[in-house]
Amino acid sequence: MPELKLLSSHLLFDGSQKRYRHRSESLNCEMNFSIFSPPGISHNKKVPAIYWLSGLTCTDENFTLKAGAQRAAAELGVALVIPDTSPRGNGVASAPDAAYDLGLGAGFYVNATQAPWSHHYRMYDYVVDELPALIEQHFPVNDRRSICGHSMGGHGALVIALRNPQRYQSVSAFSPIANPTTSPWGKKAFGHYLGDDVKNWRGYDASLLIEASRASEHLPMMVDQGDADEFLIEQLKIKRLIAACKTVNYPAQITLRAGYDHSYFFISTFIEDHLRFHAKALGPDVNL
């Protein structure tokens, strides 16, 4: 069983907010993650987990400190698991121009196939397989999972859930990069991580995955997008996601929020709605 190093611990709404470091086999480096455990759990009373994937430039601490999600999670009786957004440390490749949208803080939740990225940048495997196995070994958390995220993390959450519907009960996103194969952010990252052949990008594009989905694989899906988001038109492509859902009658709940931008002010306003959405799907172990 991999060892965990406790980095910090705080009592919060009678639950615990902790941060750990461990050695990741998927990413070939040490990784940090944060976890909120609701009050009253034990190895005789395991709870479901909601995984949160953060956006460009973030670490696990952005959501932990800014979203204000712990109060609702404590009430609902669900754990929150928040990984970092990329591999880090000595020897991990970074963008040569220190760009914010490639390399450190910008893993895009893919399995990189191109050098030098492929040695470390396998965030898809880390989130789908390694981290849940680690969490379920070390904490009183069961195997009922939901996943959500913001921006690059919204892209990651949608893609991971759509590709692994048997592993998740529901998926949600704030301001996701919904069609990254046509987005400047996505094209830059995918070109470096996955190579020039666009066919290899399609498996990491939520809009394209929805168009190829089967009705039996439809998970409950919720997406919130602010209409004052500065990245809405060029980068996020929410209209493409809406069109894909209509094409295959995918029952997604997609809401445009008037006046809201791309920030954590937006996330903190609606995060409780998302947690309650997931709690409903995760039942019967939650406190609705």
In degrees rounded to 5, what are phi and psi of residue 223? Answer: -135, 130
The torsion angles phi and psi of 213, rounded to 5 degrees, stand at: -80, 160
> Could you give the residue numbers annotated as active site?
151, 229, 262
Tokens of 215: 């009705």
Pairing of strands 29-37, 5-12: unpaired
**d(C-alpha 123, C-alpha 83), whole Å:** 10
Report which residue type is found at 65: L
The strands making up 171-174's β-sheet, listed across from edge to edge, are: 5-12, 15-24, 29-37, 79-83, 47-53, 141-150, 171-174, 221-226, 252-257
Q: Could you tell me the sign of the dihedral formed by the alpha carbons of 85, 3, 170, 259, in that order?
A: negative
Tell me the C-alpha to C-alpha distance, in Å, between residue 244 and each of 10, 156, 206, 240.
43, 17, 9, 6
Q: SS3 helix, strand, coil % of the chain, rounded to 5?
A: 40, 25, 35
Contacts of 20 by beta carbon, 8 Å cutoff, 6+ apart:
4, 5, 6, 7, 32, 33, 34, 35
**Whole-angstrom Cα distance, residue 279 to residue 77?**
9
Cα(283)–Cα(111) distance, integer angstroms:
31
In 3D space, the residue among 97, 104, 234, 243 whose CA is nearest the CA of residue 177 turns out to be 234
